Structure formats: C-alpha cells, structure tokens
Amino acid sequence: MAGGPAPLNARDIRAVSRDVAGADDARVMRIVATVDAMSARGSADELIVPLRRRLAVLRPPRPLRFVRLMFHPLDPLIIPAGRWRPDQHAIPRTALAPLADCVRVAMAPRARVIEAAISGRTAADADMIAAQGRLLWPDAGKVLMSAIPPATWRETGLGDAIFAPLARRTGALLAQMAAFDRFCAETVQGLLPPRADALHAILRGIAGADESALPMMVKLLLTRLPEAAALLMAAQPGPQGSALKAAADETVDKLLEQLVRKEGAAARIASTSLEEAGTTVRRIATLLRQLEDGSVKPARRAHLKAVRQTLDAGFRTRFAAGLRDEVLALLLAGGNPDVQVIEAAARDLRALETEARAVGGGSAYDLMLRQTADAVKALPAETGPGRTDRIRLVEILAGSDAALAMLDER
C-alpha cells in the first residue's frame, strides 16, 4: 500500500501479541517502527499496548503524525479502550484516529499545510509541537464541538451514542490547549508563579463549552503543572466557581488514589529510566506540597499523610534498585566498565534522591549513599575503574568531604 506497510489483520495481531511483551529491545524497536510506518494503523495499535512502559525507557523516535500532534497535550488523559468507561474522565485510545479524521477533513488545506510542516519530524521536537500545535488545537476544538461520526468510528467498537459527548469534551479541551501550552511555558519549574488570571480564563472557556470536561482539565493541570495546584484549589471567581471546585476536589481525590495503587507512581518509576523517575518524583512532591496548605480539610490532610508514606516506601525501593543495578553491579562485573555510564547513573540517583527527600525518608537515603560509597572504596584494586575514577564516583555519591577523605588515604 502506498504511504507505508499495509495494516495488520486481526489474526496477524493475535499471533504477534502472544510473545511481544517478552521481546528484546531490538525487536521492540522494530515493532514500534513498523506500526508507526503504517498508513492506517487501526487495531495494530494493540501491539504497542504491552510495550508502553518499555517505550518510556527506550524512547524510540516516534514520527510526528497529525494525530499525535493533535492529541499531544491530552496524553495524560488517554487510556487503552479496554479500560475506558463512559463515565471516566479519559479518552479511549481507539477514538484518537477517528477524531483526528474529523478534524483533518474539516480543516482540509490547512491540515495539509500542518502535515507538510511536521513531515519527517519526531515527537521529541518540542519547538515544532508548540509552533504547529498552537495553530492546530484551537481549530480542532471548534471542529469537534459539532462533529458527526466519521466512517472510521465504527472500527472503535464504542458505539454511536459515545461519539458526540466524547467529541465535545475533547473539543472543549483542545480549544484551550494553545492558551494552556503558553500558560505552562511561562511557569518554568516554579521559577515564575502561575498567573491566576490566565488559569481562570482557560477554566472559564472549558466550563462554558462543556462543563463535563472540567475534571479532565484539572487532571491535565495537576499532571503537567503541579505548581498551580494550590491556585486551582483556591476559591474560583464567577458563577462557575462551585462547579470548578467540585471538579477539582473529585479529581484530586482520584489522582491521590491512583498514585498509591499497585500500578501507580511507584510502579511507574520502577519501569522508567532514573532521569525520568527523578522528573516524576519532582512533580509528585510538588503536587503534595501544593495540596498541603493551611486550609486543607482534616480528612484530606490524613489522606495526604498516608499517600506520602506509601510513596516514600516505593521511592526508596527504586533508589535502592538503582544503586544496586546501575552502579554497584557494573562496578563488580569485572573487566573495564564504562565509567561515564556509571557516573551518569550516580548523578541521576542523586537527583532522584533530592526530589524524593521532599516526600520523606531522608535518613534512609543518607545510609544507602554511605554504604554504596563504602563499597566503592572497598573494591579490590584490580576490580573496576582506577583510583581517580573511584574518588570522583564517591564524590558524586557521598559528597566532597568523603572524596577528600579517600584522597588522603594511602
């Protein structure tokens, strides 16, 4: 088929899915590249479902297609269709392509201009996503607010009655995503305070278009910009204030429950890189801090304390695994280990530790770092890196005083 490999049929997908979860990294990369190259992916997206956590670590280059650009800011809301229910504040993954088809057809020449601009680019190109997304998202939102089901909607298996409310909610969100993207860009990891007037304007726009989309917007905000959580939870001006407060309370409670589930935050950082784990922990720590202001209800304060305790245990487990598997195991393996890789892991661990301390367990991290530094010092002379590299590694793990003490030793 022109434009890429032909779509896989259901039998092909079942045959490949049986062993795809256990595939090695090279095969995972080939599978993802094959699916991404398809002109019409359809149910072949199911091949990617068991690989998503692996992809968070491997980070293969994903082509910046029209549908990926359109839904980029809504990614935290997208879930597998098998887990989606009509009352959920989420978007089933199988709905993405049909919704994008509606927009592509309605925008016609403008859609082709955007597709030409993103051709050959990947989803890692943040500047391109911001530039072209801000052109696409408002118009896409307007289209979806009054769209009718395309022919491809039947392939989702969701039913015709689902289309209109889902399209309206998605459209209400997309219509505000250009403003939301600018709002987030203006707040650089807490260095600039979030602007209340800009946030309230976004929320009013969504409430006016489809009030049922408010919980979804709250989840996007808390996920992407936890620095604004306290601002969100404060009293909101205007007649829609009570609806927003209710949406915020509901979404915060659900988000806290999700964080401590078996497949929640601890499981997520256990299956990602150390760098990504540090970023995730920073966001969670910021969110918890923002929610723990003086006006929080006693019931939520107790809930937040329990959440902290559960997350602290999970974060310490990830930190210990990183020290064991990505530092000590490489040092003890013998031969000529890649010192730069080990040092990079040690720096990522220190960054993770800094963020995780904000959740709890400070003394536990001190102990683990000292023990690891002592293990580095005790390595036999013939094992692992040379003395200079060991001293530098001890400095990363335990600080300059520990490195100077090692330097003074014979």
147 is a domain residue? no
In a 3-state reduction of DSSP, which class is residue 45? Answer: helix
pLDDT at 359: 92
121 is a domain residue? no
Q: Are 280 and 272 in contact (CB under 8 A)?
A: yes
In angstroms, the CA 326 to CA 330 distance is 6
255 is a domain residue? no
Task: Report the predicted TM-score, pTM, of the whole model to 2 decimal places.
Answer: 0.79
E strand segments, 60-137? 78-79, 91-92
- Reading phi first (left if > 0) and then psi (alpha if -120 to 50, else beta), residue 40 is in beta
pLDDT at 76: 93
In angstroms, the CA 300 to CA 296 distance is 7
pLDDT by 10s per residue, the chain, length 410: 344 444 555 555 555 555 555 666 666 666 666 666 555 555 556 656 655 666 655 566 678 999 999 999 999 999 988 889 998 999 999 999 999 999 999 999 999 999 999 999 998 899 999 999 999 999 999 999 999 999 999 989 899 999 999 999 999 999 999 999 999 988 865 567 888 889 989 999 999 999 999 999 999 999 999 988 888 887 666 667 788 888 888 898 889 998 988 888 888 898 888 999 999 999 999 999 988 876 677 888 889 999 999 999 999 999 999 999 999 999 888 778 889 999 999 999 999 999 999 998 788 999 999 999 999 988 887 777 888 999 999 999 999 998 998 888 75
Listed residues 19, 34, 60: the one ending a domain? 60
Residue 34 token pair: 């094959």
71 is a domain residue? no
Which one-letter amino acid corresponds to residue 350?
R
> SS in 3 state form for 253-279?
HHHHHHHCCCCCHHHHHHCCCHHHHHH
DSSP states of 337-369 = --HHHHHHHHHHHHHHHHHHHTTS-HHHHHHHH
pLDDT at 299: 84
325 is a domain residue? yes
**What is the four-CA torsion angle of 233, 236, 241, 247, rounded to 10 degrees?**
-20
Domain that holds residue 275: 260-410
pLDDT at 196: 87
81 is a domain residue? no
286 is a domain residue? yes
Alpha-carbon Rg for the chain in angstroms: 24
Phi and psi torsions of 91, nearest 5°: -125, 125
Number of domains in the chain: 2
**Distance set, CA 359 to CA 22, 200, 284, 352 (Å):** 34, 29, 8, 11
pLDDT at 4: 46
191 is a domain residue? no
pLDDT at 62: 77
pLDDT at 176: 97
pLDDT at 169: 97
Listed residues 60, 83, 110: the one ending a domain? 60
pLDDT at 193: 81
pLDDT at 361: 75
pLDDT at 288: 92
